[in-house]
Protein backbone atom coordinates (compact mmCIF):
# COMPACT_ATOMS: atom_id res chain seq x y z
CA UNK A 1 0.00 0.00 0.00
CA UNK A 2 1.33 3.44 -0.92
CA UNK A 3 0.87 5.97 1.81
CA UNK A 4 0.07 9.60 0.98
CA UNK A 5 2.94 12.05 1.00
CA UNK A 6 3.28 14.58 3.83
CA UNK A 7 1.77 17.39 1.72
CA UNK A 8 -0.67 15.36 -0.38
CA UNK A 9 -1.84 16.64 -3.76
CA UNK A 10 -0.10 19.36 -5.84
CA UNK A 11 -2.82 21.84 -4.86
CA UNK A 12 -2.06 21.22 -1.20
CA UNK A 13 1.64 21.64 -1.91
CA UNK A 14 0.94 25.00 -3.54
CA UNK A 15 -1.20 26.06 -0.60
CA UNK A 16 1.56 25.01 1.82
CA UNK A 17 4.16 27.03 -0.10
CA UNK A 18 1.92 30.11 -0.15
CA UNK A 19 1.22 29.73 3.56
CA UNK A 20 4.96 29.44 4.30
CA UNK A 21 5.65 32.60 2.30
CA UNK A 22 2.88 34.46 4.14
CA UNK A 23 4.26 33.36 7.51
CA UNK A 24 7.74 34.48 6.50
CA UNK A 25 6.50 37.92 5.41
CA UNK A 26 4.46 38.45 8.58
CA UNK A 27 7.33 37.30 10.80
CA UNK A 28 9.89 39.55 9.11
CA UNK A 29 7.71 42.63 8.58
CA UNK A 30 4.99 42.36 11.23
CA UNK A 31 6.74 44.12 14.10
CA UNK A 32 7.77 47.06 11.92
CA UNK A 33 4.29 47.46 10.48
CA UNK A 34 2.69 47.27 13.92
CA UNK A 35 4.97 50.07 15.17
CA UNK A 36 4.06 52.45 12.33
CA UNK A 37 3.00 55.77 13.82
CA UNK A 38 3.44 54.69 17.45
CA UNK A 39 6.62 56.71 18.16
CA UNK A 40 8.01 53.64 19.92
CA UNK A 41 11.69 52.84 19.62
CA UNK A 42 12.43 50.43 16.80
CA UNK A 43 13.56 46.99 17.91
CA UNK A 44 16.89 45.99 16.30
CA UNK A 45 16.57 42.87 14.11
CA UNK A 46 12.89 42.54 15.07
CA UNK A 47 12.01 40.47 12.00
CA UNK A 48 14.82 37.97 12.47
CA UNK A 49 14.06 37.70 16.18
CA UNK A 50 10.38 37.04 15.46
CA UNK A 51 11.24 34.33 12.96
CA UNK A 52 13.59 32.61 15.41
CA UNK A 53 11.01 32.83 18.20
CA UNK A 54 8.46 31.31 15.84
CA UNK A 55 10.76 28.37 15.15
CA UNK A 56 11.25 27.86 18.90
CA UNK A 57 7.49 27.84 19.53
CA UNK A 58 6.89 25.55 16.55
CA UNK A 59 9.48 23.03 17.68
CA UNK A 60 8.04 23.05 21.19
CA UNK A 61 4.45 22.55 19.97
CA UNK A 62 5.35 19.72 17.60
CA UNK A 63 7.36 17.87 20.24
CA UNK A 64 4.90 18.33 23.11
CA UNK A 65 2.01 17.52 20.81
CA UNK A 66 3.66 14.31 19.70
CA UNK A 67 4.23 13.21 23.29
CA UNK A 68 0.56 13.80 24.10
CA UNK A 69 -0.68 12.48 20.76
CA UNK A 70 0.99 9.11 21.19
CA UNK A 71 -1.07 8.54 24.32
CA UNK A 72 -4.25 9.31 22.39
CA UNK A 73 -3.41 7.33 19.26
CA UNK A 74 -4.07 3.91 20.80
CA UNK A 75 -3.50 0.81 18.70
CA UNK A 76 -2.67 1.05 15.03
CA UNK A 77 -0.06 2.61 12.76
CA UNK A 78 1.45 5.89 13.85
CA UNK A 79 2.96 8.66 11.72
CA UNK A 80 6.69 9.15 11.46
CA UNK A 81 8.13 10.86 14.52
CA UNK A 82 8.89 14.54 14.11
CA UNK A 83 9.86 15.16 17.73
CA UNK A 84 13.64 14.88 17.39
CA UNK A 85 13.89 17.15 14.30
CA UNK A 86 11.46 19.60 15.94
CA UNK A 87 13.57 19.78 19.10
CA UNK A 88 16.74 20.26 17.07
CA UNK A 89 15.04 23.03 15.08
CA UNK A 90 14.09 24.78 18.32
CA UNK A 91 17.62 24.31 19.67
CA UNK A 92 19.14 25.81 16.52
CA UNK A 93 16.69 28.73 16.67
CA UNK A 94 17.59 29.32 20.32
CA UNK A 95 21.27 29.31 19.44
CA UNK A 96 20.47 31.74 16.63
CA UNK A 97 18.78 34.05 19.13
CA UNK A 98 21.89 33.96 21.28
CA UNK A 99 24.14 34.82 18.34
CA UNK A 100 21.74 37.56 17.22
CA UNK A 101 21.70 39.03 20.72
CA UNK A 102 25.49 39.07 20.71
CA UNK A 103 25.64 40.78 17.31
CA UNK A 104 22.98 43.39 18.07
CA UNK A 105 24.29 44.27 21.53
CA UNK A 106 27.91 44.51 20.42
CA UNK A 107 28.93 42.57 23.52
CA UNK A 108 31.31 39.64 23.59
CA UNK A 109 29.83 36.12 23.92
CA UNK A 110 31.30 35.74 27.41
CA UNK A 111 29.50 38.89 28.56
CA UNK A 112 26.22 37.84 26.90
CA UNK A 113 26.35 34.44 28.60
CA UNK A 114 26.55 36.24 31.93
CA UNK A 115 23.43 38.30 31.31
CA UNK A 116 19.99 37.08 32.38
CA UNK A 117 18.71 37.00 28.80
CA UNK A 118 21.77 35.12 27.56
CA UNK A 119 21.66 32.54 30.33
CA UNK A 120 17.99 31.79 29.79
CA UNK A 121 18.35 31.41 26.02
CA UNK A 122 21.36 29.14 26.57
CA UNK A 123 19.33 27.00 28.99
CA UNK A 124 16.56 26.78 26.40
CA UNK A 125 18.94 25.68 23.65
CA UNK A 126 20.52 23.00 25.83
CA UNK A 127 17.11 21.79 27.00
CA UNK A 128 15.96 21.27 23.42
CA UNK A 129 19.16 19.40 22.55
CA UNK A 130 18.54 17.08 25.50
CA UNK A 131 14.90 16.68 24.43
CA UNK A 132 16.06 15.66 20.95
CA UNK A 133 18.38 13.04 22.45
CA UNK A 134 15.51 11.68 24.55
CA UNK A 135 13.25 11.59 21.49
CA UNK A 136 15.83 9.51 19.62
CA UNK A 137 16.26 7.11 22.53
CA UNK A 138 14.22 4.09 23.52
CA UNK A 139 12.33 6.18 26.07
CA UNK A 140 11.13 9.27 24.19
CA UNK A 141 8.76 10.14 27.01
CA UNK A 142 11.74 11.35 29.04
CA UNK A 143 11.80 14.40 26.78
CA UNK A 144 8.96 15.85 28.86
CA UNK A 145 11.45 16.95 31.54
CA UNK A 146 13.83 19.00 29.34
CA UNK A 147 10.82 20.42 27.48
CA UNK A 148 9.45 21.59 30.83
CA UNK A 149 12.80 23.28 31.51
CA UNK A 150 12.62 24.99 28.10
CA UNK A 151 9.10 26.26 28.81
CA UNK A 152 10.19 27.50 32.23
CA UNK A 153 13.18 29.34 30.78
CA UNK A 154 11.00 30.99 28.14
CA UNK A 155 8.47 32.04 30.80
CA UNK A 156 11.23 33.63 32.87
CA UNK A 157 12.71 35.33 29.80
CA UNK A 158 9.34 36.78 28.81
CA UNK A 159 8.80 38.41 32.22
CA UNK A 160 11.83 40.36 33.44
CA UNK A 161 9.33 42.65 35.17
CA UNK A 162 9.79 44.11 38.62
CA UNK A 163 6.05 44.13 39.31
CA UNK A 164 4.74 40.70 40.37
CA UNK A 165 7.26 38.68 38.31
CA UNK A 166 6.06 35.37 39.74
CA UNK A 167 2.51 35.99 38.52
CA UNK A 168 3.63 36.89 35.01
CA UNK A 169 6.00 33.92 34.80
CA UNK A 170 3.34 31.49 36.02
CA UNK A 171 0.77 32.79 33.54
CA UNK A 172 3.21 32.41 30.64
CA UNK A 173 4.21 28.94 31.82
CA UNK A 174 0.61 27.71 31.73
CA UNK A 175 -0.29 29.64 28.58
CA UNK A 176 2.66 28.41 26.53
CA UNK A 177 2.18 24.80 27.64
CA UNK A 178 -1.56 24.85 26.88
CA UNK A 179 -1.07 26.49 23.47
CA UNK A 180 1.63 24.00 22.50
CA UNK A 181 -0.52 21.05 23.54
CA UNK A 182 -3.62 22.31 21.74
CA UNK A 183 -1.88 22.97 18.42
CA UNK A 184 0.76 20.25 18.54
CA UNK A 185 -1.54 17.45 19.64
CA UNK A 186 -4.15 18.33 17.02
CA UNK A 187 -1.46 18.24 14.34
CA UNK A 188 -0.35 14.78 15.47
CA UNK A 189 -3.96 13.54 15.64
CA UNK A 190 -4.66 14.71 12.08
CA UNK A 191 -1.47 13.06 10.83
CA UNK A 192 -2.53 9.84 12.55
CA UNK A 193 -6.00 9.97 11.02
CA UNK A 194 -4.56 10.61 7.58
CA UNK A 195 -2.23 7.65 7.90
CA UNK A 196 -5.06 5.37 9.01
CA UNK A 197 -7.47 6.83 6.46
CA UNK A 198 -9.96 7.44 9.23
CA UNK A 199 -9.38 6.78 12.92
CA UNK A 200 -12.26 8.95 14.09
CA UNK A 201 -11.87 7.63 17.63
CA UNK A 202 -8.48 9.37 17.92
CA UNK A 203 -10.08 12.75 17.23
CA UNK A 204 -12.83 11.95 19.71
CA UNK A 205 -10.25 11.25 22.43
CA UNK A 206 -8.43 14.47 21.53
CA UNK A 207 -11.64 16.52 21.76
CA UNK A 208 -12.23 15.21 25.27
CA UNK A 209 -8.80 16.30 26.48
CA UNK A 210 -8.52 19.59 24.57
CA UNK A 211 -11.11 21.31 26.76
CA UNK A 212 -8.59 21.71 29.58
CA UNK A 213 -6.02 23.34 27.31
CA UNK A 214 -8.69 25.62 25.87
CA UNK A 215 -9.83 26.78 29.31
CA UNK A 216 -6.25 27.39 30.44
CA UNK A 217 -5.55 29.45 27.33
CA UNK A 218 -8.67 31.57 27.72
CA UNK A 219 -8.05 32.34 31.39
CA UNK A 220 -4.31 33.00 31.22
CA UNK A 221 -4.63 34.99 28.00
CA UNK A 222 -7.29 37.25 29.47
CA UNK A 223 -5.41 37.83 32.73
CA UNK A 224 -2.13 38.50 30.94
CA UNK A 225 -3.80 41.03 28.65
CA UNK A 226 -5.34 42.88 31.59
CA UNK A 227 -1.97 42.95 33.35
CA UNK A 228 0.18 44.07 30.42
CA UNK A 229 -2.03 46.27 28.26
CA UNK A 230 -3.47 49.56 29.59
CA UNK A 231 -6.77 50.14 27.82
CA UNK A 232 -5.89 53.67 26.70
CA UNK A 233 -2.90 52.48 24.63
CA UNK A 234 -4.53 49.56 22.82
CA UNK A 235 -4.44 51.25 19.42
CA UNK A 236 -1.42 53.48 19.98
CA UNK A 237 1.11 50.72 20.71
CA UNK A 238 2.46 47.88 18.59
CA UNK A 239 1.71 45.41 21.37
CA UNK A 240 -1.93 46.46 21.50
CA UNK A 241 -2.35 46.33 17.74
CA UNK A 242 -0.83 42.86 17.45
CA UNK A 243 -2.77 41.62 20.46
CA UNK A 244 -6.08 42.65 18.90
CA UNK A 245 -5.50 40.02 16.20
CA UNK A 246 -5.10 37.20 18.70
CA UNK A 247 -8.65 37.06 20.15
CA UNK A 248 -10.06 37.17 16.63
CA UNK A 249 -7.99 34.14 15.65
CA UNK A 250 -8.75 32.46 18.98
CA UNK A 251 -12.46 32.95 18.39
CA UNK A 252 -12.14 31.49 14.90
CA UNK A 253 -10.30 28.45 16.24
CA UNK A 254 -12.98 28.04 18.90
CA UNK A 255 -15.77 28.06 16.32
CA UNK A 256 -13.90 25.53 14.18
CA UNK A 257 -13.36 23.30 17.23
CA UNK A 258 -17.08 23.47 18.02
CA UNK A 259 -17.89 22.71 14.39
CA UNK A 260 -15.63 19.65 14.41
CA UNK A 261 -17.21 18.47 17.66
CA UNK A 262 -20.69 18.92 16.20
CA UNK A 263 -19.80 16.84 13.18
CA UNK A 264 -18.37 14.12 15.39
CA UNK A 265 -21.53 13.96 17.49
CA UNK A 266 -23.65 13.69 14.35
CA UNK A 267 -21.40 11.00 12.88
CA UNK A 268 -20.07 13.24 10.11
CA UNK A 269 -16.52 13.94 8.91
CA UNK A 270 -14.80 16.29 11.38
CA UNK A 271 -11.41 16.33 9.68
CA UNK A 272 -12.12 19.32 7.41
CA UNK A 273 -12.84 21.87 10.19
CA UNK A 274 -10.05 20.34 12.29
CA UNK A 275 -7.54 20.91 9.47
CA UNK A 276 -8.60 24.55 9.18
CA UNK A 277 -8.43 24.80 12.96
CA UNK A 278 -4.80 23.72 13.05
CA UNK A 279 -4.02 26.32 10.38
CA UNK A 280 -5.62 29.04 12.50
CA UNK A 281 -3.68 27.81 15.51
CA UNK A 282 -0.49 28.12 13.46
CA UNK A 283 -1.43 31.75 12.77
CA UNK A 284 -1.86 32.29 16.51
CA UNK A 285 1.67 30.98 17.05
CA UNK A 286 2.95 33.57 14.56
CA UNK A 287 1.12 36.34 16.41
CA UNK A 288 2.49 35.05 19.73
CA UNK A 289 6.03 35.23 18.35
CA UNK A 290 5.40 38.85 17.32
CA UNK A 291 4.16 39.68 20.82
CA UNK A 292 7.48 38.54 22.31
CA UNK A 293 9.34 41.08 20.15
CA UNK A 294 7.27 44.28 20.14
CA UNK A 295 7.80 46.64 23.10
CA UNK A 296 6.01 45.93 26.38
CA UNK A 297 3.45 48.74 26.78
CA UNK A 298 3.31 48.48 30.57
CA UNK A 299 3.96 51.85 32.15
CA UNK A 300 3.23 53.84 28.98
CA UNK A 301 -0.15 55.01 30.19
CA UNK A 302 -0.07 58.08 32.45
Q: How many CB atoms lie within 10 A of CB 77?
A: 10
Domain membership flag for residue 94: yes
pLDDT tier for residue 7 given thresholds of 50, 70 and 90: low
CA distance 144 to 64: 7
The pTM of the full predicted model, rounded to 2 decimals, is 0.90
Domain membership flag for residue 121: yes
Domain membership flag for residue 253: yes
pLDDT tens for 65-123 read: 999 999 998 888 999 999 999 999 999 999 999 999 999 988 888 899 889 889 999 99
CA distance 147 to 181: 12
Domain membership flag for residue 220: yes
Give the domain extent around 264.
43-291
Given this model, what pLDDT does residue 2 score? 41
CA distance 213 to 62: 15
Is the pLDDT higher at 269 or at 48? 48
Number of domains in the chain: 1
Domain membership flag for residue 18: no
pLDDT (mean) for 26-32: 91
Q: How buried is residue 260: exposed, middle or buried, by Cβ count under 10 Å (0-12/13-18/19+)?
A: buried
Domain membership flag for residue 9: no
Domain membership flag for residue 11: no
Domain membership flag for residue 51: yes
Amino acid sequence: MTLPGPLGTPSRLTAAVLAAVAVLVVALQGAGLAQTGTAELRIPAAGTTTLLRLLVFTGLAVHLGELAGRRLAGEGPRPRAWSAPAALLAAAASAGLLLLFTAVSGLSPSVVYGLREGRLVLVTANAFVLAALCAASRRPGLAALPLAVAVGAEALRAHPETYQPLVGTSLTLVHLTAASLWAGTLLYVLRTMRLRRGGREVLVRYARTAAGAYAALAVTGTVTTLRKLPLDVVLSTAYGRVLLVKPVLFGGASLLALGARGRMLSGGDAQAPARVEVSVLAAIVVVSALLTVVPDPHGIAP
